[in-house]
Amino acid sequence: MVAIYKREMRSYFSSPIGYIFVALFMAVSAWFFMSYTLQKGQSSDFGTYFQMIIVLFVAIIPLLTMKLMSEERKLKTEQLILTGPVTLGGIVISKFLAAFTVFGGSFLLSSFIYYIPLFMYGTPNTVIYFCCVFATMLAGAAFIAMGVFISALTENQFIAAFGTMTLIIPFLFASSLNTYINNELVRNILSGISITARYSSFASGVFDWAALLYYVSLCGTFLFLTVRVLEKRRWD
C-alpha cells in the first residue's frame, strides 16, 4: 500500500499534473478570496468564498483523479500491481489517499494563508472558518472517491475527467433544483444526496455528525464500487 501511495505521489510531481493542479488551485482560490471576501470587506462572511471553492473542485479535482486507474490499465502496469501481494482495497485506498494528500495539502495551505489577513485586519469567526475548511475537505474527499471510481471504468484519461465532472455535478446542485419542485418526496431525496445541503450546518459553525457520516459514506461507497469494478474485471 505504502509503495503504491509513494509512487502516485511521485508521479504527480514528476509530471506537470501536480504542479498544474496546485498552481491553478492557488491562483483561482486566491482570486475568489480576494473578490468575495477581501474586496467586499466581509471578514466574517466567507460562506460565498467556500461555496465558490467547492464549485472550483468540479473543474480541478478530475485533474488529480483522471489517470489514477485508467493509466495503469492503458499502460498494462495494472498487471504488476494486481499480481503483487496487495489487496484490491489496498490499491484503491492508496490511490485515493495520494490524490487526497495533494488536494488536502494545497487546500489547507491556502486556507491558513488566507486566514492571516482576516485575523490581522478583521474579525473572523475562527470556529466557523475552520468548520468550513473541514466540510470543504470532506466534500473534496467525496469528489476524489467519485473520480477514482470513474477512472477505473475507462482507459481514457479525458473520458475519466469529463465523466467525473458529470458525476459530481448532480451531487453538487441537487438541492438547488428544490425551488422548482413541488413534490416533497423528490425534494427530500434531492436534499438527501446534495453535497451543498450538508454543508450548510458546518457553515453556521455547527459540527454536524450526520453530515460527517454522509460524506464518509459517500467516499466509502465510491471506493467500494471501484474495488467491485476491478474485481468484476477479473471474473469477466
Partner 1 sequence: MIKVEHLVKKYGDRYAVNDISFEVRKGEIVGFLGPNGAGKTTTLNILTGYLSSTSGKAMVDGMDILEHPMEVKKKIGFLPEQPPLYLDMTVREYLNFIYDLRKCKLNRKEHIAEIIRVVKLEGTENRMIKNLSKGYRQRTGIAGAIVGNPEVIIFDEPTNGLDPKQIIDIRNLIKELGRDHTVILSTHILSEVKSICDRILIINEGKIVADQITGDISKNYHGNRRVSVRVEGPSSAVLAEMKKLPGVVYSRIGAEYSDGSASYLLESREDVDLRKPLFFMLAKHSWPILSLELPGANLEDVFIAALDEENAEEGNTNPGKAKNKGGK
**Residue ranges that bind partner 1, judged by CB under 8 A:** 2-4, 6-7, 10-11, 14-15, 75-87, 234-236
The nearer residue to partner 1, 81 or 177, going by C-beta atoms, is 81
Show the cell assigned to 50.
467556500
Q: Least distance from C-beta 192 to partner 1, angstroms?
A: 36
The nearer residue to partner 1, 7 or 187, going by C-beta atoms, is 7
Q: Least distance from C-beta 123 to partner 1, angstroms?
A: 48
The nearer residue to partner 1, 55 or 81, going by C-beta atoms, is 81
The nearer residue to partner 1, 6 or 228, going by C-beta atoms, is 6
The nearer residue to partner 1, 157 or 196, going by C-beta atoms, is 157
The nearer residue to partner 1, 78 or 195, going by C-beta atoms, is 78
Q: Least distance from C-beta 156 to partner 1, angstroms?
A: 18
Q: Least distance from C-beta 69 to partner 1, angstroms?
A: 14
Q: Least distance from C-beta 13 to partner 1, angstroms?
A: 10
Q: Least distance from C-beta 149 to partner 1, angstroms?
A: 21
What is the three-state SS of the chain? CHHHHHHHHHHHHHCHHHHHHHHHHHHHHHHHHHHHHHCCCCCCCCHHHHHHHHHHHHHHHHHHHCCCCHHHHHCCCHHHHHCCCCCHHHHHHHHHHHHHHHHHHHHHHHHHHHHHHHHHHCCCCHHHHHHHHHHHHHHHHHHHHHHHHHHHHCCCHHHHHHHHHHHHHHHHHHHHHHHHCCCHHHHHHHHHHCHHHHHHHHHCCCCCHHHHHHHHHHHHHHHHHHHHHHHHHHHC
Q: CA-CA distance, 226 to 152, in Å (whole number)?
A: 6
